A and B are shown apart, each in its own frame.
Chain A
Amino acid sequence: MTAPILKVEGITKSFGGVQALRGVSLEIGSGEIHCLAGENGSGKSTLIKVISGVYEPDAGRIEINGQQFSHLNPKEAIGLGIQVIYQDFSVFPNLTVMENLALNMELMDNRKLMNYRRARAIASNAISQIGFDVDLDERVENLTVADRQLIAICRALLQEAKLIIMDEPTSALTKKEVKALFAVIKRLQSRGLSILFVSHKLDEVFEISERYTILRSGENVASGNTEELDRKTFAFHMTGREFADEYYKPAGVKGKPVLSVRGLTLRGVYSDISFDLAPGEILGITGLLGSGRTELAETLFGILQPDSGGIEIDGRAVKIRNVKSAIRRGIGYLPSDRLTEGLFQPQAVDRNLVITTLDRLSSRLGFLRRKAIAETAMQWIDRLSIAVRSPTLPVRTLSGGNQQKVVLARWLANDLSILILNGPTVGVDIGSKYDIHALMRKLAADGLAIIIISDDLPEVLACASRILVMRDGVFVRELDPSATTESKLSELSTGIA
């Protein structure tokens, strides 16, 4: 390893009695891509904020480029070449690419007037550094998420960054965009920059980083060369739990199919989709974004109407005209974007839990029965082991995995026979992910018919009893998860061998 650009030792930090960091150490060499991994609440964000000068640590040392500090302020950190790229990128959606790139620089130089010629020069210099081709006069809101991220990276480079900290940079990117981002990261590395890549996604850690540090509950649990890491140890270090590789084998598919789809077609999106689903089965549907998988799910849930083809439930042909009729027929749908589609974020957990069954929880006059509501909410919290301190806290205070459980509970409260899950563990940490998988298997074993749509291939392999691969709107192959591999699946869904 080369001389470290950053070395922190024995950092502790507590917030009102809660110990967020307990003597954490981290060392990053210059020109190194280092991955910082850990579950939600492991202290990753706190550590980043200590390094970038937002928080003052209670104890410990920070060494940057050989200089010792007990703490930094944000301006000093920037001056030392430390740049953080936040998850929201901190861009101005309403301003042009040019202004987004130049404004920070101009502010740092304490300028009072805006000189557009200088701004353009700054901006074109910035994008040329990573070979990013973009219209400088376009408003940032019209760009893709990936392009906004590149703008944040270019802006960091302008301020002579030596270490760029990327906080979960891939969480909103498609696979292709992740590839492009990795190419940019490699390019930065070749120019001698160090990257601290914060992630909890194993594949990415393996693909991009040379060294890793894993935190759990505010402590270092492991660090070393990424080459020497494997999936099982990674999951173990992250969660402190051992996970066995699991497959779901239905204990015996119970009787006739509850759902049959025949030749379903939505012009331009998907065509001639046919499959059967029996109680106790978990059908995995995998495919790339844009393969039609989400639209298929939305059709089954009555959000979209097919152009032709038929849907049968319990052997009877049905037309699912809208969401209400889907729910009446016992279909539940867990959207991929639970934040905007599934939950009332500022509302309490218990209210979110009972929203779908309010008619059962109110008196004949239509008044809500508070006691019954509280009891029902507690039952669900117990049954799905939702980690929440009090049921009256707003849902947005829960971790992703627990939010997902709240959405699940809502559906389970209705008499459900078919549950469709779209990307059920996107943005969820490993521990909760395993919990959700276990829950799915249990629900299926109890007789629910489940469709899981996911491009997380290990997830599909671990949960589904049958896998359908979708590409460009058609099913290309049906596979048995115990007799296939991740690479086979990926080959089929991309069409690239």
Chain B
Amino acid sequence: MGRMTKRSEPYILAAIVVLSLLIQARSGQFFSGNNLVDLARSLIVPALFSIGCMMVIVSGGIDVSFTAIASLAMYVTDRLLLASQYSGNVILAYAISAGLGLLMGALNGFLIGFLRLPTFVVTLGTSSLFTGLMFGAFSASASDVPPSIARHGKEILFTATNPKLGLTSNMPSQILILIAVLLFAFFLLRYTMLGRGIYAVGGDETAAERAGFNVRGIKMFLYCFVGVLAGITGIARISMMSYADPSTMLGMEMTVIAAVVLGGTRVTGGVGTLVGTISGVALMTILSNSLILIGIPTYWSRVFTGAVIIVGTGVTAHQIRSTRRRHTQSQKATV
């Protein structure tokens, strides 16, 4: 008996399977090609956000500013490209947005890593700063996207059709970005000392310093990484929507954080996996997208989402407590 049952990934995967089977049994529509493609499509943006978010939580911090960074970065990029009437490759859009995200992330990283300010307060502050700049200094409102981004939004990998209902869904090419980022993050977290350092800092910061990890550097990297990722996610989002709405991502941060925690990432830091995180996002996406298939109105899906968060995090908390109890008991027994 062991390690497997203490992890939360199996539980959340089981929850996904049960929920999908249930929706399939009632509607017969869940496992249709177009529904699965729709789900994948809705998953891309929150999943991209969740990867950086999970890494920050693992390091013992919290970041609530990534949606603000994504919004400001994509909006400035969008206006720049429109103003310069650039019509070349979309890579430039991603590069500019990622660069802007890097700058904003570096501000977080500096305040947190070097001035040692608390992460929640810093990112709450910068989040407000960035949204304020966007609506104030740039008086942002919904805008068109430049041709490069518009073209990118029409690139599709394949189309799934639902013969019964005659519906079609396109798999957007942005899913490739998600896959690439996932592979990168997996390699980083598992096979580099930098990645192991993120876990070490989340486990015990003093011990990490004594062991010789560059703790400041690790934090700086983390918040910069989140910034770059947010910049990229911003462009992915507006290209899929074909217009740049500055407020489309604002408020998503709470759902993303909830999905990350639901996926077994420990809020106190040190523990979290990509598999768990993506499963958490997937479960939340199914709840908000597919319940309508069995006739549950959209506003109810919020109720279900809330319930799942409470039950899910509650189960995790209970697990931690009971392992601790078992632990102290076995300690007593050996005496």
Interface residues of A (CB under 8 A from B): 86, 88, 90-95, 99, 103-104, 106-108, 111-114, 137-138, 142, 144-145, 174-176, 288-290
Residue of A nearest to B327 (CB): A142
Cα distance, A112 to B210, chains bound together (Å): 18
The 10 closest A-B pairs by CB, nearest first: A94-B270, A92-B203, A94-B203, A107-B212, A90-B207, A290-B332, A290-B335, A104-B211, A289-B335, A90-B210
Contacts of B202 on A, CB cut-off 8 Å?
94
Instruction: Tell me the minimal C-beta distance from B287 to chain A in angstroms.
Output: 29
Cα distance, A289 to B329, chains bound together (Å): 11
Interface centre among A95, A144, A175, A290 (most CB of B within 10 A): A95
B212 adjacent to A108 (CB under 8 Å): yes
Chain B 233-273, CB-CB to A under 8 Å as 1, else 0, gives: 00000000000000000000000000000000010011100
Cα distance, A432 to B269, chains bound together (Å): 38
Contacts of A176 on B, CB cut-off 8 Å?
334-335
B332 adjacent to A289 (CB under 8 Å): yes
Query: Within 8 Å of chain A (Cβ to Cβ): is B191?
Result: yes
Query: Within 8 Å of chain A (Cβ to Cβ): is B142?
Result: no
Chain B contributes a number of interface residues (CB within 8 A of A) equal to 32
Cα distance, A55 to B297, chains bound together (Å): 66
Partner among A99, A106, A144 whose Cβ is within 8 Å of the Cβ of B334: A144
* The stretch of B39-47, B78-86, B133-141, B192-200 that contacts the partner chain: B192-200
Contacts of B270 on A, CB cut-off 8 Å?
92-95
Interface residues of B (CB under 8 A from A): 3, 190-196, 199-200, 202-204, 206-208, 210-213, 266, 269-271, 323, 327, 330-335
Residue of B nearest to A102 (CB): B196
Cα distance, A90 to B266, chains bound together (Å): 20
Instruction: Tell me the minimal C-beta distance from A167 to chain B in angstroms.
Output: 13
B193 adjacent to A93 (CB under 8 Å): no
A106 adjacent to B199 (CB under 8 Å): no
Contacts of A99 on B, CB cut-off 8 Å?
196
Cα distance, A288 to B208, chains bound together (Å): 36
Residue of B nearest to A103 (CB): B211
Instruction: Tell me the minimal C-beta distance from B210 to chain A in angstroms.
Output: 5
B203 adjacent to A113 (CB under 8 Å): no
Contacts of A288 on B, CB cut-off 8 Å?
335
Contacts of B195 on A, CB cut-off 8 Å?
114
B204 adjacent to A93 (CB under 8 Å): yes
Contacts of B3 on A, CB cut-off 8 Å?
137-138
Partner among B194, B199, B323, B330 whose Cβ is within 8 Å of the Cβ of A94: B199
Cα distance, A107 to B209, chains bound together (Å): 11
Partner among B194, B196, B266, B269 whose Cβ is within 8 Å of the Cβ of A103: B196
Q: A176-B334, A289-B332, A289-B335 are in contact. Are A113 and B193 (CB under 8 A)?
A: yes
Cα distance, A86 to B206, chains bound together (Å): 11
Contacts of B196 on A, CB cut-off 8 Å?
95, 99, 103, 114
A92 adjacent to B191 (CB under 8 Å): no
Can you give 29 contacting A-B residue pairs, CB < 8 Å? A88-B204, A88-B207, A90-B206, A90-B211, A91-B204, A91-B207, A92-B200, A92-B203, A93-B203, A94-B202, A94-B203, A95-B199, A95-B270, A103-B196, A104-B211, A106-B193, A107-B211, A107-B212, A112-B192, A113-B193, A114-B196, A137-B3, A138-B3, A142-B323, A176-B335, A288-B335, A289-B332, A290-B332, A290-B335
Contacts of A88 on B, CB cut-off 8 Å?
204, 206-207
Cα distance, A402 to B266, chains bound together (Å): 36
Instruction: Tell me the minimal C-beta distance from A402 to chain B in angstroms.
Output: 25
Q: A95-B199, A95-B203, A144-B334 are in contact. Are A114 and B211 (CB under 8 A)?
A: no
Interface centre among A106, A142, A176, A288 (most CB of B within 10 A): A142
Cα distance, A335 to B333, chains bound together (Å): 21
Contacts of B211 on A, CB cut-off 8 Å?
90, 103-104, 107
A111 adjacent to B193 (CB under 8 Å): yes
Contacts of A137 on B, CB cut-off 8 Å?
3
